Structure 1
Amino acid sequence: MIKNTISNENNNKKLNILGQILIVAATLLWGTSFIILKNTLDDLPVTFVLGVRFMLSALVLLAVRFKKIFKMSKRALKTGLIAGVILTSAYLLQTYGLKGVSAGENAFLTSTYTVMVPFLCWIFFKKKPDVYSISAAVLCVVGTGFVALFGSGSLSFGAGQILTLACAVFYALQIIVLASVSKEDDPLSILFIELLVVGVVCFLGFISFETGSFRPSAITGTVVLKLLYLSIFCTLGAQGLQLIGQRFVNPSQASLLLSLESVFGLLFSAILGGENLTVYSVIGFALIFVSVVVSETKLDFLKKKKRLAESGDREKKKKEEDNNGKAESSAGDKSL
């Protein structure tokens, strides 16, 4: 019985480590997407890039999951359509914003959506944010100020920053919409509808507004590889890794690990894109990262360490008391 218990604990620990690795891998892929997407936009219109990226992802998911997708409920279809419209708005704003800011700045400003969620819940559901959410919001606002106003070394706040922060609002709205998904509904079927909506809307936008800026000669082998990477790895692959990984880790662990996306975004922007960082931008990025961690985890990982330390102190004290009691008892026996 004891051996079985130990074996189960070891298996759970291994699965937890595996889950953490998968989530970090997902954030790593998302982190690379910022600089690759920015480079792709040098050659192609925003709506074309997003249309190809999401339509291809939707088609691959359909091929893998078609039985489940065709059996989805009307409720799941409705949720997917609503979330898809919101996701379309988020990606369009984020990608147009990316044309006006660095990839690292885009990554960190986008991550502020996690801080916005509690306040949108307050607006829609009258659920007041806790002290952690308020503290995170203050840190986030200050950090955003450092990045957006002083990050370039001079006082500036342009369209790129405004569009990126606006996209964060829509990402926060998407979180709220998807929170209402029933456990009976297949999340990948809903994801398919979201991907399809983004792809269709962006292609319609491309046909209506951006065909004039499209150059067929821009579709080189390198560009095709970038689009395939964004579709297969950064969209479907990362999403799949996250869904699997979150089955084996607790919400606090998942939230903390997912916040690494912005860090990887900045890292790859510096390595692959040669992004220059000022002291102000580094301070701002650090404050935004801390705000995301505080908002997502409520510092549960610190509380857990404190509880374990206190528990260890109590056990140590109890052992000392037991040893003292035994010593006193032994001394009493000797005196008799």
Structure 2
Amino acid sequence: MNTVSHKYRQSALLLLTAAIWGSAFVAQKTGMDYVGPFTFNAARNLLGGLTLLPSVVFFSSCKKRTLPPDASSENVTQQKTLWAGGILCGIALFVASTLQQVGIQYTTVGKAGFITSLYIVLVPVCGLFLRKRVQPKVWLAVLIAVAGLYLLCMTDGSFSLQKGDFLVLACALGFTVHILVIDHFSPLVSGIKMSCIQFFTCSILSAVCMVLFETVNFSDLLHAWMPILYAGILSSGVGYTLQIIGQKGLNPATASLLMSLESVFSVLAGWILLHQALSARELSGCILMFAAIVLVQLPNFHKANAVS
């Protein structure tokens, strides 16, 4: 019972993550009207890291009071693991988010959403090389989800690859690496601390590229303050932290399916909040996506029979 409740709790956290990311796509697109991709990512990730600092300080002080005096050697080992995980996550996030921000400029929003979400296929495929077992129902759910994403995002029914599409496809591979790195490190360290380190790592790398390749204008940053604030606090600070906490104990293939619902939430948000029309094709895509998530959440019947 504890295992089942844990699974549903983690799934709920990832669904919340998908909802936050789905509504943040507009902020990313709007921010690019004022600043370059490196500037945007440097600012949003710096803000995400600063948002988490008070929580890191608070929980660290609480933990120090409860640690036994002889826990110093174990703590040093854990700190090394924490920094390794945070820096690797930050590098993967930098590569993926940069490719996404640049790719968005050269392709349609729908196509970018579809190609980015192809990590739901790449995660279980790459997981096979890491000896991550994937159940048959998960593979079926992945196929259903890809079909749903196509109906949802590719509203014109055509698919031809352009320059931006290859960048977004590389971005999907970057997010695949990010998910697998989190899967490895999240059971070993504090999720909030690792998330904070990844944001500062990504911000530093973005800032270096910003100085090298972009012209920084303070007035442009002021014009982009609202999308940067939203993307930094909610999409980065809250969303990516919930991803790290929510992935703990879940199969990465299942986690990627849950997070791919960001495309569904973005369409539903436009329908509910902005009164945008939802076509039968898009509605069918939403239904298929939700069906894939329900399928992957169903218990394994052979295990249920064994327990009963």
TM-score by length of 1: 0.67
Query: Does 2:105 align with 1:99?
Result: yes
CA distance 1:18–1:166, shift in 2 (3 Å): closer
Structure 1 residue 279: Cα displacement: 7.3
Once residues 176 and 292 of structure 2 are traced to their aligned partners in structure 1, the CA distance between those partners, rounded to angstroms, is: 13
Structure 1 residue 268: Cα displacement: 3.8
Structure 1 residue 40: Cα displacement: 1.1
Structure 1 residue 188: Cα displacement: 1.8
1:57 matched to which residue of 2? 48
Once residues 132 and 246 of structure 2 are traced to their aligned partners in structure 1, the CA distance between those partners, rounded to angstroms, is: 29
2:293 matched to which residue of 1? 293
CA distance 1:263–1:61, shift in 2 (3 Å): same
Once residues 244 and 258 of structure 1 are traced to their aligned partners in structure 2, the CA distance between those partners, rounded to angstroms, is: 13
2:185 is paired with a residue whose SS is coil
1:171 matched to which residue of 2? 175
CA distance 1:188–1:206, shift in 2 (3 Å): same
Q: What per-residue deviation string (whole Å, max 9, x for no partner) do you get for residues 189-227 of structure 1?
A: 22122111110111111110112xx54443345x21221
1:76 matched to which residue of 2? 82
Once residues 138 and 125 of structure 1 are traced to their aligned partners in structure 2, the CA distance between those partners, rounded to angstroms, is: 21
Structure 1 residue 139: Cα displacement: 4.8
Structure 2 unaligned residues grouped into runs of 5+: 62-74
Amino acid corresponding to residue 117 of structure 1 in structure 2: V
Query: Does 2:245 align with 1:231?
Result: no
Preserved contact between residue 49 and residue 200 of structure 2 (Cα < 8 Å): yes
Preserved contact between residue 53 and residue 230 of structure 1 (Cα < 8 Å): yes
Query: Does 2:221 align with 1:219?
Result: yes
Structure 1 residue 110: Cα displacement: 2.1
Structure 1 residue 238: Cα displacement: 2.7
Structure 1 residue 260: Cα displacement: 2.8
Once residues 45 and 275 of structure 1 are traced to their aligned partners in structure 2, the CA distance between those partners, rounded to angstroms, is: 28
Number of residue equivalences = 289
Once residues 45 and 229 of structure 2 are traced to their aligned partners in structure 1, the CA distance between those partners, rounded to angstroms, is: 10
Amino acid corresponding to residue 261 of structure 2 in structure 1: L
Query: Does 2:130 align with 1:125?
Result: yes
Structure 1 stretch 132-141 or stretch 83-92: which is displaced more? 132-141
Amino acid corresponding to residue 190 of structure 1 in structure 2: M
Once residues 243 and 83 of structure 1 are traced to their aligned partners in structure 2, the CA distance between those partners, rounded to angstroms, is: 10
CA distance 1:156–1:265, shift in 2 (3 Å): same
Once residues 18 and 89 of structure 1 are traced to their aligned partners in structure 2, the CA distance between those partners, rounded to angstroms, is: 30
CA distance 1:113–1:61, shift in 2 (3 Å): same
Preserved contact between residue 254 and residue 296 of structure 2 (Cα < 8 Å): no
CA distance 1:208–1:244, shift in 2 (3 Å): closer
Amino acid corresponding to residue 136 of structure 2 in structure 1: V
Preserved contact between residue 51 and residue 198 of structure 1 (Cα < 8 Å): yes
Amino acid corresponding to residue 115 of structure 2 in structure 1: L
CA distance 1:113–1:42, shift in 2 (3 Å): same
Preserved contact between residue 120 and residue 257 of structure 2 (Cα < 8 Å): no
Q: What per-residue deviation string (whole Å, max 9, x for no partner) do you get for residues 8-41 of structure 1?
A: x9xx99x999877765443322111111111111
Query: Does 2:168 align with 1:156?
Result: no
Structure 1 unaligned residues grouped into runs of 5+: 1-8, 312-336
Structure 1 residue 147: Cα displacement: 7.5
Preserved contact between residue 186 and residue 245 of structure 2 (Cα < 8 Å): no
Q: What per-residue deviation string (whole Å, max 9, x for no partner) do you get for residues 236-273 of structure 1?
A: 123455567789x9879977754432211233456788
Amino acid corresponding to residue 177 of structure 1 in structure 2: V
Bigger Rg, structure 1 or 2: 1
Amino acid corresponding to residue 90 of structure 2 in structure 1: G
Preserved contact between residue 89 and residue 178 of structure 2 (Cα < 8 Å): yes
Once residues 134 and 25 of structure 1 are traced to their aligned partners in structure 2, the CA distance between those partners, rounded to angstroms, is: 23
Preserved contact between residue 44 and residue 228 of structure 2 (Cα < 8 Å): yes
Structure 1 residue 61: Cα displacement: 1.9
Once residues 135 and 8 of structure 2 are traced to their aligned partners in structure 1, the CA distance between those partners, rounded to angstroms, is: 30
1:266 matched to which residue of 2? 267
1:44 is paired with a residue whose SS is coil
Structure 1 residue 109: Cα displacement: 2.8
TM-score by length of 2: 0.72
Q: Report % sequence identity.
A: 26
2:72 matched to which residue of 1? none
CA distance 1:147–1:253, shift in 2 (3 Å): closer
Query: Does 2:193 align with 1:189?
Result: yes
Structure 1 residue 157: Cα displacement: 1.8
1:298 is paired with a residue whose SS is helix
